Structure 1
Amino acid sequence: MSATLDRGAAARAQSTPPQTTPRSGARRRRLAAAGLPLLSVLVFLGAWQLAASSGLWSEVFVPRPATVWAAAVDASTTHDGVRGYQGYLLLEHLYMTLRRVAAGVLIGVAGGLVLGLAMGSVGWLRRILEPWLTFLRALPPLAYLFLLVIWLGIDEAPKIALLALAALPPTAVATTTAVLGAPVGLTEAARAVGANRYQVVRDVVLPAALPEALTGIRLAVGIAYSSVVAAELFNGIPGVGGLVKDASNYNNTPVVLVGIFAIGLSGLTIDALLRVVERRAVPWRGTH
């Protein structure tokens, strides 16, 4: 009898699927989150290598990945008495670009937040300034770069001004929309208990507007970063945009691709950091 029971228990144990623990499920999700992007990179590199090896295009137009890697190493080191590219290492080019972006974004985002808060709170001000913001947002950076160069010269001022003008409209528009979307019930309740205008803005409007304003800041940083090559067209070395422009003058495609990858990878890193800040600043977003 006991032997029969033991055999039945063993059969049930074999037929019962193993239970997935929360820890193993989280591990699988982490592996998938890391593995899928890595797989896409490998597929991209494989397709690139096949395209470069097919002979359909000249090496000038489609260099091999190994050639681009060698150009990245040369731009990052001192070789044959040559230091990096045009006398600056790749990290130094990237540092100057990031410094310009940081200065321009700081000015543009600060101005956009103040402007958006004012436009969202004061109706007549919004009606006056909204067409000008739309006009500025519709302009491509190159449209006013040359005017900035005429006004400010070819040093750092026009580059930072261009990036600030690129970052200001999306921040202002997102902040205005967020302020206008603040819950009316909470605003009226705060006024009913005696809160003044400043307290309503500080304790009700700003917390309600913060999620959408942070999204606008992310968009502003992305738009400013995508304008960095235009900002560094004049006197852009050291700078990744200047590196790309100078290399393109000599059909140096590997160095152009090195600059493009440097801009793209650093942009991904900055956006990931902004998402971390967004999750910590507004942890309640997406929970209701």
Structure 2
Amino acid sequence: MSAPAEPAAPAARAAPPRGRTRSPRFDPRTAFLPLLSLLVFLGVWQLAAASGIWNETFVPYPATVWQAFLDVSTTSSDGVRGYQGYLLWEHLYMTLRRVLGGVVLGVAAGVLVGLLMGTIGWVRRVLEPWLTFLRALPPLAYFFLLVIWLGIDEAPKITLLALAAFPPAAVATTAAVAAAPVGLIEAARALGATRGQVVRDVIVPAALPETFTGIRLAVGIAYSSVVAAELFNGIPGIGGMVKDASNYNNTPVVLVGIAAIGISGLVIDALLRAVERRAVPWRGKA
């Protein structure tokens, strides 16, 4: 009598073809939780405004702020155009243009200085105290000096934003370069790589992830300084609009400006993260 046949082994799952990754599943919580937090915030805001504890001048209703948003975004029937003659998108465009100019200058200088400080010891010893000094200064501390030197046009605004973006980019790049893997550097030198080749092929790729983090911080700090940058002659500009509206206790317009700065900041940070994922795909994998 023949032995009973052994049970067949379960069929192995077909391995996914090489070079193809499974697309991430959509998690409803990624959209639901932020929406829920927004609804809770609006509910608390509505209750605080309706409680009567604070005057409506200080805590307006959400509907009042929404009406202010519509007013600054459109031209009214009696010909009033936006705020101080400019629509909200025009204020935002001027602010973003100033931020872009300042950030490009500040980040470019910061990354270059950080690369030098991270690779050349005496440069780091000379520049580090000055960099720490500048990083400790709030933007308003030197903005008025910039106004005296450069006037009240665009030059002091862009310079202020560049000075705000410079220290975080320089500090992050310096730390990233100094933390480059010594083993890889020594291996490249043993294979005959020159100093320039080591910097280009080993140090820079290793430092890019943290450098991008510094760039994101630089953009955030520059953007948080935009109201200070637009204190003088800041209209059109979101910071100028907020400052001018605060002079007249126009809280709804101030809140519209704050929301515009915050939301556009979120969009900019999301764009920077997308660029980082493309430029540094090896982050967290090496």
TM-score scaled by length of structure 2: 0.91
Partner of 1:184: 182
Displacement of 1:55? 0.7
Displacement of 1:285? 1.6
Letter in 1 for 2:275: V
Runs of 4 or more above 2 Å deviation = none
Partner of 2:59: 62
Partner of 1:48: 45
CA distance in 2, matches of 1:195, 1:275: 32
CA distance in 2, matches of 1:249, 1:182: 50
Q: Deviations over 1:188-209 (max 9, x none)?
A: 1111111111111100000000
Mapping for residues 117-266 of structure 1, pairs under 5 Å = 117-266=115-264
CA distance in 2, matches of 1:143, 1:129: 21
CA distance in 2, matches of 1:182, 1:285: 13
CA distance in 2, matches of 1:200, 1:283: 20
CA distance in 1, matches of 2:102, 2:240: 17
Displacement of 1:286? 2.2
CA distance in 1, matches of 2:44, 2:226: 29
| DSSP-derived class of the 1:119 partner | helix
CA distance in 1, matches of 2:32, 2:276: 25
| DSSP-derived class of the 1:83 partner | coil
Partner of 1:26: 25
Partner of 2:74: 77
> If each structure's helix is expressed as a fraction of its own residues, which one has the higher value?
1
Displacement of 1:287? 3.2
CA distance in 2, matches of 1:239, 1:108: 20
CA distance in 2, matches of 1:88, 1:134: 39
Aligned residue pairs: how many?
Answer: 264
Q: How many percent of aligned residue pairs carry the same amino acid?
A: 78
Letter in 2 for 1:26: R
Q: Deviations over 1:96-132 (max 9, x none)?
A: 0000000000000000010000000100110010010
CA distance in 2, matches of 1:249, 1:232: 14
Displacement of 1:222? 0.2
CA distance in 2, matches of 1:96, 1:85: 14
CA distance in 1, matches of 2:120, 2:229: 34
Partner of 2:266: 268
| DSSP-derived class of the 1:237 partner | coil
CA distance in 2, matches of 1:52, 1:224: 32
CA distance in 1, matches of 2:283, 2:208: 10
CA distance in 1, matches of 2:89, 2:158: 20
Q: How large is the RMSD of aligned CA atoms in angstroms? A: 1.3
CA distance in 1, matches of 2:194, 2:230: 47
Q: Which runs of 5+ in 2 are unaligned?
A: 1-21
Q: Deviations over 1:253-283 (max 9, x none)?
A: 0000000000000001001111111122222
Displacement of 1:284? 2.0
Q: Deviations over 1:19-54 (max 9, x none)?
A: xxxx9x923x2x110111011000000100010011
CA distance in 1, matches of 2:160, 2:229: 6
CA distance in 1, matches of 2:43, 2:271: 29
